[in-house]
Structure 1
Amino acid sequence: MQKQFAGQLDVSTTFVSKLIRGKKSVSVAMALMLEEALQIDFSFWFNAQRNYI
């Protein structure tokens, strides 16, 4: 499943794994890609990252 999702986002499976585990940050660009892929608003992803730090 991570492999498919990585392909959809055009990133490596390693990146997706690290993102899921909180080892990679959600950048503005990534938040926009997640919005497109999952149909969950950009602000959710960006605010989640901001509140995680």
Structure 2
Amino acid sequence: MQTVLSQRLADVAEFVPQGARLLDVGSDHAYLPIALMEEGKIDFAIAGEVVKGPYESAV
């Protein structure tokens, strides 16, 4: 499955270097780290979320 990013997150993804380790604080469903892992741009990420709904969606 390929995660489709909003234009805002797609713009942010362009700044992530190949092979980076990502920390996404306030991850909001973990869309960015998931998409970057799916495309093979990163192989490690920590996604932090404190709001129950987005956290459960990320899990």
| Bigger strand fraction | 2
Specify the TM-score bucket, using the shorter chain as the normaliser: 0.3 to 0.5
TM-score, normalised via structure 1 length = 0.32
Q: Identify the structure with bigger relative contact order (alpha carbons < 8 Å, sequence gap 6+).
A: 2
TM-score scaled by length of structure 2: 0.31
